[in-house]
Every structure is written in C-alpha cells, then in structure tokens.
Amino acid sequence: METNDTLQVDVDKVLADKNPGLARLLPRFVKAYLKKIVHQDEVNYVLRSFSHQPPVGFVRSTLDYMEITHRAVGLERLSLDGRYLFASNHPFGGMDGMMLCDELDNYFGSSRIIVNDILMNLKPLAPLFIPVNKHGRQNSDYAQRFRATLAGNEQIATFPAGLCSRRIKGSVCDLPWKPSFVKNAIESRRDIVPVYFEGKLSNFFYNLSSIRTTLGIKANIEMLYLADEMFSQRGRHFDIYFGEPVPWQRLATGEPPVRLAQQIREQAYALRPAHR
C-alpha cells in the first residue's frame, strides 16, 4: 500500500518491497492472479471513492457499494446509558466488523472495535480501531489507548476468536475464544453482550484451511482469499443477533476466565435461529 492523494493497494509494490528477489522471479500470470484474488482494482475504486469520508461513512458507503444490507435483532433491548463490551463470533474476518460498527454507531452514536494492530494500516477505518499486538510486545502508545478507551464510555466490540471461523468437525464455527475479553470487561466494569452473526464463507476457503492444517503449514495462506470471500457476499442480507447483557459483577466471582469465555461463546451461538 502507498499514500498519494489517497491510500491505494499495489500488489507489485508490496512484493517488491517485501521480497525483491521473489518479485523478480514470479511470473506475470502469478502476479495477475494475486491482483485478482485481492480485488486490487475494486479495492482501489472503493478507496478513491470513499476514503475522504469519516470512518462510519466509509463503512456505510462500502457496504452500499457491495449492496450488502444488515439488521440488528435485540439491540433495542439494551440501555443507551450502558457501557458494554460486545463479544461476537467472527464468520467473515472483516466485513462482520464493519456491519457491527455500523449498527452500534447507529444505535449508540459511537463505537470502537478491538483489532490486530496490523489493521491500523487501513487508514480510513483506523479511528474506529483499538489496536493490540497479538504476536509480540504491545506498543506503549497502543496500550495506553487501549486502557483509556476501556475506561471511557464508548461502546466496544471484540471478536474473541481472533481469526475468522473455520469448519470444525463438519460445522462452521469459531475457534476457541481467548479469555482476555472477560478480564477486560471485569477491569473496566463493562457488561458483556454476546453477539451472533449469521453467514459463512465458501467451501473453498474452509477446505483450503483444512488442507493447510493437515499438511502442518503454519502460515494462514487461506487469508489471501479473504478479500475475494468478502466481495463474493455482494448483494446479501445479514441478521445480527444481540443477547442479554452478562453483568460484569457476575463474572468477577473468581471463576476461571477460560470457562467464562466458553460460556459466553455458547450464549452467542445459542442466539442462532433454530431454523438455520
């Protein structure tokens, strides 16, 4: 990615910057394939067209461009004066975060979402993000921002699985939820709201993930296809289900956070409509 008048995606430049030797060796058709699966032209159109807007405006314009609609179910039961930590399943690996922020901003007026700090490179969305380093030492500025946001009054969303859902024993679901969100809720005295997103990615994505895992390949090569998976959702509608808040006092009883995280994960999946 580079910055001119606006942020742009340039696969050729990324390859040349990250691995010049590999960039020289890769055949032209391989580079063309990479540009296709990351939807370079379409992503750049979105960036050129909407990145001048504030973050939520960018989100809404992007979803409108993709003809994606969504509806909140149960959000109206929550108090506008509450301080919540929304814990959601993660079927899409990005688009779900956009829809969730849109719904929370529409209802509460503002929201933030906890993300891997790598996503701070998405400049149009960066003001919505609470960055954390999931693979190393936390940046001190990010850590201070994280603590300050938790202590504030904005609504906060998180995807405790970290990665998007995979097919596990024949069923598409999240990986185990990491318990840090429970600890964060207790420390910041925020009630946790379980959230369930309907929807899934393609069989190709899940099969590729299964094959990679079987072969013992640690690099998540299927993540290259997330942009392609997102654009394949064009024209669809999604319902987002919000459960009853779990009071932070109920979590602060000394029960292991891992067990509490599992219980809240189960509550989120229990929101799934019976007919689906």
pLDDT for residue 120: 79
pLDDT for residue 4: 42
What is the rounded distance in angstroms from the CA atom of residue 84 to the CA atom of residue 110? 12
pLDDT for residue 250: 94
Closest alpha carbon to 163 in 96, 101, 108, 99: 96
pTM above 0.85, yes or no: yes
The CA–CA distances, whole Å, from 45 to 1, 38, 39, 122, 208 equal: 14, 13, 10, 15, 29
One digit per residue, the tens of pLDDT, for the chain of length 276 reads: 444 445 688 888 888 887 888 888 889 999 999 999 989 999 999 999 999 999 999 999 999 999 999 999 999 999 999 999 999 999 998 899 999 999 999 999 989 999 887 777 788 888 999 988 765 566 677 788 888 989 999 999 999 999 999 999 899 999 999 999 999 999 999 999 999 999 899 999 999 999 999 999 988 899 899 999 999 999 999 999 999 999 999 999 999 999 999 999 999 999 998 755
pLDDT for residue 21: 85
pLDDT for residue 134: 62
* Through-space distance between the first and last CA atoms of the chain, rounded to whole angstroms: 39
pLDDT for residue 139: 67
